[in-house]
Chain A
Amino acid sequence: MQSAGTEIAARAIGIIDQFKNLEGPLLPILHGLQEEFGYVPPESLPIVAQALNISRAEVHGVFTFYHDYRDHPAGRHVLKLCRAEACQSMGGDALAALAKQQLGIDWHQTTSDEAVTLEPIYCLGLCACAPAAMLDGEVIGRLDAEKLEEIVAEVRL
């Protein structure tokens, strides 16, 4: 039986091979890793560096620059609430406060039952049906307290 580390390495190499011949392959590789694992395993970064013949520092720098990439798994669900101006104008701040209170967590945190991770997002392009949110990639418009409470109940099941 393979150790967890070797198994991650083998899967990472598969992803890297898929993208490494693209022009500018680093972001597609990191996206690919995150899709495969749900996060970018820190142990995969040196493998990426070696495959692309760049330094580990450079890969680390890119990985940490972008908000999308995680270095640890998220909860079973990810709830993103838009914090940008159009959503603010329709009461987005109050909804964010309600979500935090109902889930008992702050931004970027995961509930202790690992049910849900709460993340801020700056604009989903749903500004004409604000406030907007995204639950596991599904877009939600005209969010209100009632809908939010339904979502919270649903994700905690």
Chain B
Amino acid sequence: MTVTIFIPRDSGALALGADKVAQKVEAIIRERGLDARIVRNGSRGMYWLEPLVEVETPRGRVAYGPVKPSDVAALFDSGLLEGGVHALSLGLTEELPFLARQTRLTFARCGITDPVSLEDYRRLGGLAGLEAALAMNPADIVAQVTESGLRGRGGAGFPTGIKWKTVLDTASPQKYIVCNADEGDSGTFADRMIMEGDPFVLIEGMVIAGIAVEATKGYVYIRSEYPHAIAVMNEAIAVARAAGVLGAAVLGSNRAFDMEVRVGAGAYVCGEETALLESLEGRRGIVRAKPPLPAHKGLFGRPTVINNVISLASVPIILDKGAAFYKNFGMGRSRGTIPLQIAGNVKHGGLFEAAFGLTLGEIVEDIGGGTASGRPVKAVQVGGPLGAYFPVSLFDTPFDYEAFAARDGLIGHAGLVVFDDSVDMLKQARFAMEFCAVESCGKCTPCRIGSTRGVEVVDRLAANVEPEKQIEVLTDLCNTMKFGSLCALGGFTPYPVMSALTHFPDDFRPAPLAVAAE
């Protein structure tokens, strides 16, 4: 029987040499005339083990990693095809603690299948949600999504069902589904992973959204920094179209839906939904004032559902298993699961999907294994460049929208970047302001001017010029930006700045000179 060897095509694995490993494996299969084939799957999300090579055996999938091209011959000599023992053996993939502890709902298939095989997708439960949706009327689909408690996974946490209902209730000859795949936040890669590892789940989610709100056209706006995600999505859309998942008659029904990929052009602010719509329309990515909401007047002035990748990719399982199943996971008003992305200076970096409610400390120390450098953790930035820096003293904060808000933070897109004690928090605060200045769309004054003034104030602070006054000015400036900016770019830049200032005051007050100036 032909043995299947899995070698990921996820860009994280590629960045660590997966293609070279695959070439080597292929060469050995050919040279030794072995009965084996290679499947290029998505990533399991354990990046410290990438490239992770798996072999299908009667006992289950056996994992090896991280594999270098130079290890490949020895792996075959140790009986790779039978799951033989080698120094890189990790045992059965499913039993690896990092995976076994997860609740994979949205990422159920990611890393398991060939991302562009619709047969694999169907075999592992794909399209069941869409089939269920096609048998329902639009209002009932929306009700299911509302009932599930799903909130926008892009960062704002707005209830997805409410957004959909607004679009459904707005009459228009044309409506749109727009997927925000402009995942620009440092520390986040869940959107990239799902698009590269299980693109059909996003396509299915978008089709369901289209049927639910009576929209017939969808766009996935993917950032240009993600060439592999763009390629896989385009490939998957073509397969879905050929198989009738997309088109004039979705799965042979009387509903129509089609979609295409649009590529961003390196503007961070286009991750803001209205700037993204402007960009899709072919304009500068300038934030729009709200109202009107995109749900009323969105893309080309038409009612538009604009959701993050993970929000849309979570919809199929809700329709398949029911709202109650999904809602059963989580805590408080944060229902379901969240794909945590553990990144930066961390030993076990990767994607960990779990119900809401783990504490920050559990995530960083227990799951992430502490820092990669082995030094003590100093700060964890949660929620991307606009998220707050949390000190170790707040490690008891549960991962939940409200709990983070209560401690002046946000969970954002659920990315966590770990820093060891070598980090200078004043420098991080300066970077936050500098980044805002570079990426500001320029429409509102607090963001456009405030960010530049912010950099200057932090620089004066670093030079120890009247530090107490600078701190007062910086605090006031942050307050203005927070409440006066049009969107989250200017409005949330104060989170990293103020959290750095509040939790790490020593970094902002250089040691006084030994002899005070007279």
Which of A's residues lie within 8 Å of B, judged by CB?
A: 23-28, 30-31, 52, 58, 61-62, 65-69, 84-90, 121-130, 132, 134, 137-142
Contacts and interface: CB of A to CB of B under 8 A. Distances in A.
Given A23-B300, A67-B267, A89-B420, A123 B15 contact: no
A134 B14 CA distance: 11
Contacts of B183: 123, 125
Contacts of A68: 224, 264-266
Nearest to B496: A85
Contacts of B16: 129, 141-142
22 contacts: A25-B282, A28-B262, A31-B265, A58-B283, A65-B267, A66-B265, A85-B187, A85-B417, A89-B419, A89-B423, A121-B225, A122-B385, A125-B11, A125-B229, A127-B341, A128-B47, A129-B16, A139-B14, A139-B15, A139-B228, A140-B15, A141-B16
Interface residues of B, number: 60
A26 B284 CA distance: 10
B504 interface: no
A139 B196 CA distance: 14
Contacts of A67: 265-267
Contacts of B494: none
B280 interface: yes
A132 B502 CA distance: 30
Contacts of B370: none
Nearest to B269: A65
A86 B343 CA distance: 6
A89 B417 contact: yes
A127 B349 contact: yes
A90 B16 CA distance: 16
B15 A128 contact: no
Contacts of A61: 284
Interface of B: 11-12, 14-16, 47-48, 50, 183-189, 191-192, 224-229, 262-268, 279-285, 300, 341-346, 349-351, 372, 381, 385, 415, 417-420, 423, 428, 431, 435, 439
A136 to B, nearest CB: 11
A125 B266 contact: no
Given A27-B263, A67-B266, A125 B188 contact: yes
B431 A126 contact: no
B282 A130 contact: no
A69 B281 CA distance: 17
Contacts of B229: 125
A1 B423 CA distance: 61
Nearest to B345: A89
A45 B254 CA distance: 43
Contact of A89 (B185, B191, B418): B418
Contacts of A89: 344-345, 417-420, 423
Given A86-B186, A125-B225, A62 B282 contact: yes
A125 B223 CA distance: 10
Contacts of A62: 282-284
Interface hub of A24, A127, A139, A141 (most chain B Cβ within 10 A): A127
B345 A24 contact: no
Contacts of B265: 27, 30-31, 66-69
A138 B279 CA distance: 26
Given A122-B268, A129-B16, A87 B186 contact: yes
B145 to A, nearest CB: 26
A58 to B, nearest CB: 8
A65 B443 CA distance: 12
Contact of A125 (B226, B372, B431, B439): B226
A84 B415 CA distance: 13
A130 B15 contact: no
Given A65-B267, A123-B186, A127-B186, A85 B381 contact: yes
Contacts of B267: 65-67
Best-buried of A89, A130, A138 by chain B (most CB within 10 Å)? A89
Given A84-B186, A87-B186, A122-B435, A127 B263 contact: no
A129 B47 contact: yes
A41 B25 CA distance: 44
Given A68-B224, A128-B341, A128-B342, 15 more contacts: A25-B282, A27-B282, A28-B263, A31-B263, A61-B284, A62-B282, A66-B267, A88-B428, A89-B419, A123-B188, A125-B225, A128-B189, A129-B16, A140-B15, A141-B16
A154 to B, nearest CB: 15
Contacts of A138: 14
Nearest to A34: B265
Contacts of B191: 125
A138 B16 CA distance: 11
B128 to A, nearest CB: 29
Contacts of B419: 89
A62 B47 CA distance: 37
Contact of A126 (B184, B189, B262, B415): B189
Given A67-B265, A88-B431, A141-B16, A125 B189 contact: yes
Q: Which of A52, A137, A142 has the most CB of B within 10 A?
A: A142
A70 B458 CA distance: 32
Contacts of A26: 282-283
